[in-house]
Each structure stands twice: as C-alpha cells, then as structure tokens.
Amino acid sequence: MSPKITGELLRQLRQAMRNCKYFSEPIQAYIVPSGDAHQSEYIAPCDCRREFICGFNGSAGTAIVTEQHAAMWTDGRYFLQASQQMDNNWTLMKMGNVLPDDHKGVFSGVYQWKNMSRALTSAGHSLVAVQDNLIDAVWTDRPERPSTQLRTLGLEYTGISWQDKITALRTKMTERKLTWFVATALDEIAWLFNLRGADIEYNPVFFAYTIVGMNTIRLFVDLKRLSDPALRDHLQLDSPSKPELSIQTFPYESVYTELQAICAALGPKDKVWICDKASCALTQVIPKTHRSPIPYTPLCLAKAVKNATEIQGMKMAHIKDAVALCELFAWLEKEIPNGTVTEISAADKAEELRSQQKEFVGLSFPTISSVGPNGAIIHYRPLPETNRTLTMNEVYLIDSGAQYVDGTTDVTRTMHFGTPSAFEKECFTYVLKGHIAVSAAIFPNGTKGHLLDSFARAALWESGLDYLHGTGHGVGCFLNVHEGPCGISYKTFADEPLEAGMIVSDEPGYYEDGSFGIRIENVVLVVPAKPKYNYRNRGSLTFEPLTLVPIQVRMMNTELLTQKELDWVNEYHRKCREVVGAELERQGRKEALEWLIRETQPII
C-alpha cells in the first residue's frame, strides 16, 4: 500500500478556502467527515470525500485542513491502515473520547456537526456551512452520483400504500403543530414511497430528499429516473387521486433553493421538522426559530414497527436465507477435509447459494467470513492477503446476510468442523447463554432495548469475560440492515422503547485475540408476551427468532446449560427443522435437509 500524494490537492483546497464566495473572510479550517448528506452508514464513491483528500479509506475518520496543517482523526483499529494510506502532508490523530468499538456503528452519531459546532463555539470559533462542497471543487475526476433504476413495491410487500403513509405522517405533523417535514435519510424516503434503488452498495436506497407539507409533497431526485411508466403510475405522477397527494418532482440538487423558498414564506408560528442528524448545510437553511429538530423522525419510528405484511415477508426471507445456509454448512462439512475452502471462497459460496433463492437482490453487508484468529478481529472482512483456509482445527465464524424483495437478513453462526477445545466450547456456551437470555427475556411494554444489554453479558461476566460491542441493532425490511431507533447496547440512552413489530438482532460474542472469535446472531421480532400477571396493565413483550439456522451443538458444553436453556435450544431446533425442513424438502435439497435433521437433534 503506498500513500496517496496529496500536496497539490491540499494546495488547491486551501486556495478554495481562501476564495470561498460565501464568506468575506477566508475559511480557517475545513472539516471533511466520513459521511454523506443523508447520514448514511454506507456511502457511494462520489461521497468518499475524506478518502479523496487524504487517502485513508477506513469507515471512521474526520479530516481537518487548515492553512498550515492537515490532520485526520480516527480510532485505534485504523491507525496502521491510516498511516500507510496517508502521505507526509497529513498528521494522524487519535480520536478523543472514543468508546469501545461498536462493530456495527449504528449509533455512531457522536461526531455530528452539532457537537462539533458546540465544541468549536466554546473554543472561540464558529462552524459555518458551505453550500458548495470545497472538496468537490478540487475533485476533478469525481464519480457521478449513482442513479440506478427504481423498483416499485406493491401492497403485497409493503402492507401500506405510500399515500396512507403520507396521511399518517400528516396526522403526526398536525398533532405536533408542524407545517413542514424534511426527510433526508435515504431509507426513510425509500420506505415512505414504497420504492427501492441500488445507489449504495448493500442498501437498497436511492439519492433523494423529500419535503412534505400539509397539502404538498416535493420529491427531489434525478429526474431521469422518473421516465418508467410503471414508476410514474406507482407515484401517480400523471394523474394524482387527490391534489394533496400529488407529488411535485424537482432535481435532486434543488432541495436547498426549494427549502429556502419554503422558509421565506413561513408564517411566524410555522415550524419545520427535520432530523437532528441532517446535514449542517440543509439544516441551516431553516431559520432557527422555525426549526424543530428531532432525534428520530416520524418516518423512522413508523418504519421501525413492521406491519403484518412486512413481518410475513421478513419470515419468508429468513426461511430462504436458512435454506442457503443449511446448504452452505452441509457443503463446508464435505469440502473442508479437502483443504480447498478459504474464507473468501466460503463467502462466495454463501452468496451463490443465496442468489439461488427467489427474489434475491444482493447482500445486505460485506460477509464476515473468518477462520481462527481472524475471527477475533470484529470488523474483519477477508482480503486476498489475509485469506485463511478452513480446517478441521479452527473455529469458523460467518456473519452474513442478504436483501430479498420481501425482507433483509443478518445471521452469524460459529462452527467447528473438527473437535473444538474445552475453552472454545466454554466460551461458546457463555455466549449462547447470553443469546438465550436476551431472546427469551420477558419485559414490560415501554422498555428500552439498552436495558436488556446486560442480560447478554451476565454469563460471560461471571467468568470474567466480555465483548466490546453492542448486542443488537434494528433491522430494516428490504432496507438497511442497520436502522434506528431501537437497539440493544450499553452505550446509548437515546434509543426508543421496544414495541411489538420491531425487529432487532441479538448477537453477543466473545473474541480471544490471536486465537478465535465467537458470535451467535439471530434476527428477532418483538412480540407480545403473556406472563402470569399484568402489572398496572402495561403488558409484556418478548422476542421471536426470525432466523432459523441451527446453532452448532458440537460447540456447546451442554453441562453448563440450565434446563431452561436446554429447553430453549431444543425448541429452537425443533422449529428450524419443521419450518426450514419443509422448504428444503420443497426445493429438493436433500443433503442440506439431512444436515439440518442431524444438527437439530434434541439434546437430552
């Protein structure tokens, strides 16, 4: 890896900072964060501005360029990589106040512009938004913004029409006395209009903004995408049923000018709703007195609670996904003794098997396929230079998932194809106890997910062990595999309470550096529970696993399990066998079915 040569680029950027047309004084420091304008977790190549300017392409890092200095802040897991990718013009800085890594990063909103602004103000500086990105001004060969074909989803997938979603949104706006709502998160816009795109790898979203008023709907999107007759029909672009459900379309970039125009016409009491994580430039278009920033938008909250149709779709997607994984594990069992399977080829095989399933669209995130010590690297992704061969002697961890038109999956299994050591089994069993403790937990309505996080750790803690990531994240329905506003983590108090219909992952782990990694992850649905009593009529909730892939008994020290835990495993395996078995049978996948039946034999 040789570092990027950045001297000339920095010279050009500094010139742009001195000559910015929006300010009379030169810009003293230019901040280049990792993200895009839509608070996306994954970003498109045209938005990789921090990588462009400094060369570092890790997922977390913020670059700051001043007249004299250029510095890039990142956290420990990226120090080596950043030092190799950046040239001498750059100083590598250690991220301050960084919490233990969340390998999923769902809640990593720590470096938002608001916090930066607050910090800068208290240090005597001020944060100003620059409408035209200065990096783009010096990035001559910047890739085009993606504009993939849009896919319409009918009621059989979404359960609710976009028109009804708009009406529900306006009801919320009326309740809160808000006149406008600005949607900037790509998954919220995709969900609202029952559309999907492929603009960002792994995330079936498309670049757009939306501004909803009480009588108008403005959609900002590359207009070339709207020529397809089926799409025009879906959005009723040519013959809206009612005037207030008529969508006005605008070019993607015109959101700033259009929002300015809206704000210029606001009455004194009018308020504009916008997510507090929206970009600085767009937020500052709204005068402060009219701005009503919220941590989670009504779309985010509505999207998180899946309706019956979406739940049914998620269940189907998970059955198909389980079929692919049973095939994979049966195949691995056969192939590993030949010494021909590597982390990369196993990941490829998993993708191939998933792609054979109906309505497969793509992966939902890069597959983590890791052998032995690589499994202890939480953010591992196999590369040719790290690629290990699967053997009968090492633990294999695979964390993978897919997008199907009816749902999104995310599953981790940890397997041993030979004889695991007593310590590996012991650790696996503690992780399993944690997984079960969350999955089987009964808790009152209104409980926030972070209150369940310690359940996942209790068994590990009791033996002096732990893992340094959260326990679960929200999962979208044919949308982003990581979504808010709920989750299970020790790190946040800002999550919204769990509700029946929400879908989260349950994924405790244990990582023995230089040796092995263990994680057991199911996607689980929040469902009502009916315990013996009902204190203050609050009602109770629990989880139902949507993931139906056997958990390897060979990795368990069953003597460490309580009767309740054994019962949970046996009941889970019974359900895997029944539901996934029927589908394997239907698809005529005999070897995988035999594997499933063997792996789901009750523990006695």
Binding region for a second copy (CB under 8 A): 441-444, 451-455, 458, 460-466, 490, 493, 531-536, 538, 540
- Give the C-alpha separation, 72 to 94, whole Å: 8
Shortest spacing between CB 107 and a second copy, in angstroms: 13
Between 126 and 241, whose beta carbon lies closer to a second copy? Answer: 126
Shortest spacing between CB 431 and a second copy, in angstroms: 13
Between 211 and 436, whose beta carbon lies closer to a second copy? Answer: 436
List phi, psi (to 5°) of 293: -80, 140
- Give the C-alpha separation, 195 to 204, whole Å: 9
Shortest spacing between CB 54 and a second copy, in angstroms: 31
Shortest spacing between CB 109 and a second copy, in angstroms: 15
Between 34 and 429, whose beta carbon lies closer to a second copy? Answer: 429
Between 14 and 290, whose beta carbon lies closer to a second copy? Answer: 290
Between 48 and 465, whose beta carbon lies closer to a second copy? Answer: 465
Shortest spacing between CB 123 and a second copy, in angstroms: 11
Strand order in the sheet with 272-275: 247-250, 217-220, 209-213, 180-183, 272-275, 291-294
Angle between helices 590-599 and 308-335 (to 10 degrees): 90
- Give the C-alpha separation, 524 to 60, whole Å: 28
Measured CA angle at 134 (ends 133, 138), to 5 deg? 120
Between 170 and 450, whose beta carbon lies closer to a second copy? Answer: 450
- Give the C-alpha separation, 353 to 338, whole Å: 20
- Give the C-alpha separation, 398 to 346, whole Å: 9
Give me 506's structure tokens.
């349950």
List phi, psi (to 5°) of 269: -100, 0
Shortest spacing between CB 535 and a second copy, in angstroms: 5
Shortest spacing between CB 529 and a second copy, in angstroms: 8
Between 76 and 418, whose beta carbon lies closer to a second copy? Answer: 76
Between 21 and 532, whose beta carbon lies closer to a second copy? Answer: 532
Between 352 and 466, whose beta carbon lies closer to a second copy? Answer: 466
Shortest spacing between CB 269 and a second copy, in angstroms: 13
Shortest spacing between CB 539 and a second copy, in angstroms: 8
Contact 245, 163 (CB under 8 A): yes
Give 3-state DSSP helix, strand, coil % of the chain, rounded to 5: 40, 20, 40
Burial of 116 (0-12, 13-18, 19+ CB in 10 A): middle
Measured CA angle at 580 (ends 337, 159), to 5 deg? 135
3-state secondary structure of 19: coil
